[in-house]
Structure 1
Amino acid sequence: MIWKRAVTLEALNAMGEGNMVGLLDIRFDAIGDDSLEATMPVDARTCQPFGLLHGGASVVLAETLGSVAGYLCTEGAQKVVGVEVNANHLRAVTGGRVRGVCRALHAGGRHQVWQIDIYNEQGKMCCSSRLTTAVV
């Protein structure tokens, strides 16, 4: 297990109230020994004008997962801040919910690198993202 903080799905989902996470209805639904998962709807809040999942919404899901995972790998008053995020959009999504799966590529004491893959409801990858965070 890589997590240093004890947390429940209920607590993670409560963190999203009153901010962009809640606004986009991002829901944490699984905490594994080395992974964190959340879903997000593909609807009017997250689509671009042509009816496809907006790339920026995918990045919001990715950065949310990576930042929360990074925080769970810290202790005490430590926090994490995003330093760099990139995303490769591989497949269009027009509806349903997408699922992000986050895993650490490096969870160090000063910086972290997270791989976040986003899948459509058919289990096909639609976005591959990487987030680098600094521990402060």
Structure 2
Amino acid sequence: MEQYKEKILEVCNKACENTLMQTLDIEFTDVGENFLTARMPVTPKVHQPDGVLHGGATVALAESVASAASYIFLDGQKFFVRGIEIAANHVKSISEGYVFAKALIIHKGRTTQLWEIRVTNAEDQLISLCKLTTIALPKT
């Protein structure tokens, strides 16, 4: 995996062009045997009216990183990956800096996958804990 790390990150970041991920400035930053990480700047663009990170932007980050991880760890040439359920618990607010999302596989089935996504700040404090279920649909 280490020898392919830069290429995987390059492909993931290129796939963000002209998408919601580009709009939110999401950048994939690290990949390993069972995880993918991304970061998103916390600026007024992703604030709710009172100046803190919007939960919807956090969920968009979480779903983006876990869906990309599904694509990487399954055969993205053979399957479409779609999120079918997401849940989020927001436990701490943030108004500036970056948030970091790390998607870890909990269940890797042939059809469905379950991901845990920890969203943290630069001090590794938990901002949100998310869970995403994805489905792999064969391309025909």
Q: TM-score range by the shorter chain?
A: over 0.9
Structure 1 counterpart SS, 2:93 = coil
User: CA separation in 1, counterparts of 2:78 and 2:18?
Assistant: 22
Write 1 or 2 for the structure with the bigger share of helix.
Answer: 2
Identity %: 36
Aligned twin of 2:84: 83
Conservation of the 8 A alpha-carbon contact between 1:55 and 1:89: yes
Deviation at 1:77, TM superposition (A): 2.2
User: CA separation in 2, counterparts of 1:98 and 1:59?
Assistant: 12
User: CA separation in 1, counterparts of 2:135 and 2:122?
Assistant: 32
Matched, 1:134 2:98: no
- The amino acid across from 2:57 in the alignment is A
- CA RMSD, 1 decimal: 1.3
Aligned twin of 1:118: 119
Matched, 1:14 2:21: no
The aligned runs of 1:1-136 (5 Å cut-off) are 7-75=7-75, 76-136=77-137
- The amino acid across from 2:133 in the alignment is T
Conservation of the 8 A alpha-carbon contact between 1:73 and 1:107: no
User: CA separation in 2, counterparts of 1:44 and 1:117?
Assistant: 22
Deviation at 1:61, TM superposition (A): 0.4
Q: How many residues align?
A: 132
TM-score (normalised: structure 1):
0.93
Structure 2 counterpart SS, 1:51 = coil
Structure 2 unaligned segments of length 5 or more: list them.
none
User: CA separation in 2, counterparts of 1:85 and 1:7?
Assistant: 28
User: CA separation in 2, counterparts of 1:64 and 1:32?
Assistant: 17
